[in-house]
Amino acid sequence: MDLVESGSVGGFFALRTAAPPGGGAHLPLARLYAGETGPLTARVDRVAARLRAPERRVAASIAHLGLAARLWSTVLGPAALHGRFPALDPAELHWDGALTSPDDLWWAGADTRPATVEQLTEVVVDTHLVPLAAAFRADGRISPRLLRGNAGSALAGALRELIRWSRARQRPEVAERAAALAGGLLGHPVLAGTVRGPALRRASCCLYYRAPGGGLCGDCVFDHPPATGLETGPSAP
């Protein structure tokens, strides 16, 4: 398993296997999932300040989406490229929300798993995304449906990047493996219905449009930004 090659797909796919240069206040994610949510709260605060978010849940959503994207990318990349991926035990995966990728995550483990839908589900969905969503809900009011949508959107985004990379390097087998894995993962109850159609357009909104100058994401459920506070119907966040 070559983490250097998978890191070449993009910044979100890179995973440090040693303490980042310059150090950092990295915390094992196991402690965050156990209730030590101070670093997560600080991360949401930083995102809120950067976006000038009118509501805390906007910043919480964007912070959650970014970390979900990091988790998916660091496993789907090597899974599609090499048939194995880092086990990412929460006690061995360290995170510093003050840093950006690839310095935000530091994996101190060595175990790998075979690239199957079942193994990816256990490692990413059950071990990380479920307790991560609970930690964000403990931080403040945020819809569980929105967090599920973020998880699905993050997986779809990682798939798109792998398809782009494989086309640029004439490696169609990488795109095929990534698509097969992602398709199976999107059938999990946590992710089912979060994205729709061949374009993998999400079925909920991450709320980024509410930030000043935010606009819509490329896979947004909306075709046009709704009037703030007036979104209604089944597609509302």
Average pLDDT over residues 207-226: 79
- Which pLDDT does position 46 carry in this prediction? 96
Q: Is residue 236 part of a domain?
A: no
The tokens describing 106, both together, are 């530091």
- Which pLDDT does position 161 carry in this prediction? 96
Q: Is residue 72 part of a domain?
A: yes
What φ, ψ does residue 84 adopt, rounded to 5°? -140, 160
State yes or no: cis peptide before 39, omega within 30 of 0.
no
Pick the more confident residue, 134 or 212.
134
50-91, pLDDT tens digit by residue?
A: 999 999 999 999 999 999 999 999 999 999 999 999 999 999
Residues 6 or more apart whose Cβ sits within 8 Å of residue 205: 146, 149, 220, 221, 222, 231, 235, 236, 237
Euclidean distance between CA atoms 142 and 10, whole angstroms: 29
pTM, entire model: 0.91
Pick the more confident residue, 40 or 1.
40
Task: Kindly tell me if the per-residue pLDDT of 223 is higher than 50.
Answer: yes
Q: Is residue 68 part of a domain?
A: yes
- Which pLDDT does position 228 carry in this prediction? 59
Average pLDDT over residues 12-20: 91
Q: Is residue 227 part of a domain?
A: no
Average pLDDT over residues 123-132: 97
Neighbours of 46 (CB within 10 A): 14
Which one, of 204, 209, 202, 194, lies nearest residue 58 by Cα? Answer: 209
Q: Is residue 231 part of a domain?
A: no
Return the sign of the alpha-carbon dihedral for residues 31, 32, 35, 37. Answer: positive
Q: How many domains does the chain have?
A: 1
Coil, strand or helix: which one is 196?
Answer: strand
- Contact between 64 and 132 under an 8 Å Cβ cutoff? The reply is yes
Task: Kindly tell me if the per-residue pLDDT of 9 is higher than 60.
Answer: yes
**Which amino acid, one-letter code, is at 118?**
E
Q: Is residue 228 part of a domain?
A: no
Q: Is residue 9 part of a domain?
A: yes
Euclidean distance between CA atoms 160 and 40, whole angstroms: 27
Helix (H) or strand (E) holding 68: helix 56-82
Q: Is residue 230 part of a domain?
A: no
Q: What is the DSSP string of 104-149?
A: TEEE----EEE--HHHHIIIIIIIIIHHHHHHHHHHS---HHHHHH
- Fill in the DSSP letter of residue 16: B
User: Which structural domain range is residue 77 located in?
Assistant: 3-210
* Bridge partner list, 112: 86
Rg (CA), the chain: 17
